[in-house]
Structure 1
């Protein structure tokens, strides 16, 4: 009788990405992944010790894909911006996986590529060496938060999105001007969270980079 097929690490990660496209990290499990592959969980535990390790590998794969073909160009600000936009685009194609990056820190090649480029760019900026680690940390937290926030909109179904827009309109346009005078005053100009996400991403990133620039001697 033919033996059970042995799945490679790359094939397991491919299947995990496909499964996470239609589920979230809470409902995702090694057992479900094994079922999708037509095998048992024990065969996957030969590659990954637990669910967290598997999710870290999946997140790292997205980071590696984002940096694939990247070549540093321009000054330090352009390099950080280019890296950030690559990460945004990569997780935008896999919005269900965006929260994985923020929740499960990766120590793989993809993570190292991102860390190396951001640190190199900060060193090129002229920042004092002792400030670079903390500046790096704050920048990556900002990027992870912005990307995860944007991705949360991307996973909504059309019905869920429209329902959210209706709640937004009721909350804003229906605000009692006596109780919420500022909200009522700006109601026609206030935009929902899902609007102009790319522009907001770039403006917030540019403001943070400008703040870093003030610390350069």
Structure 2
């Protein structure tokens, strides 16, 4: 009787990424992944100690893909912006995995590549070394929040998105001006959360980098 096939780490990660594209981290389980591969959970635990370690490895592969063939160009702000846009694009292609990155911080090679580039860029800014870790942390938290927020919208079906836009219009345009005077005043100019996401992403990041620049003596 032939034994069960032994799956490589990369094949396991491929299958896990595919499951996560059609689901989420909450519904994902090692047991489901094992069933997809036609094996038992114990065989997967030879590669990953638990579900969290597996999810971190999946997220790290996205980071590695984002930094593939990356070459630093421009000044420190351009480097951080370029890295941020690469992360945005990589997770934009697999939005279900963006939430995993924000929740399960990776310590793999992909994570190190992103950390190294951001830290080097901040060093090039002229900031004192003692300020760089805190500034780095704020930039990463901002990127993770923006990318996760955008990913959440990206996973909506067209019908769900349109329904949300319609509810937004009703809530805004139908606001009672006596109870919600500011909302009524700006009703025709306020945009839904999903509108102009790329411009909003770049503007918010630029504001953070401008704040950093203002603190450089």
Which TM-score band (shorter chain)? over 0.9
Q: State the Cα distance separating 1:75 from its structure 2 match.
A: 0.6
The aligned residue for residue 48 of structure 1 is 48
- Find the aligned partners of 2:120 and 2:186 in 1 and give their Cα distance: 43
Q: Which runs of 5+ in 2 are unaligned?
A: none
Count of aligned residue pairs for this structure pair: 217
Kindly indicate whether residue 136 of structure 2 is the aligned counterpart of residue 166 of structure 1: no
1:135 corresponds to 2:154 = no
Offset at 1:58?
Answer: 0.5
- Cα deviation for residue 3 of structure 1 reads 1.1
Aligned equivalents of 2:178 and 2:67: distance in 1? 52
What residue ranges of structure 1 are gaps of 5+ in the alignment?
A: none
Runs of 4+ more than 2 Å apart: none
Shift of 1:166: 1.5
Q: Distance in 2 between matches of 1:136 and 1:205?
A: 13
Match of 2:100 in 1: 100
Which residue of structure 2 aligns with residue 119 of structure 1? Answer: 119
Residue in 1 that maps onto 2:8:
8
Counterparts of 1:1-217 in structure 2 under 5 Å? Answer: 1-217=1-217
| TM-score normalised by L of structure 2 | 0.99
CA deviation after TM superposition for structure 1 residue 170, in Å: 1.0
RMSD of Structure 2 on Structure 1 (CA): 0.6
SS at match of 1:176: coil
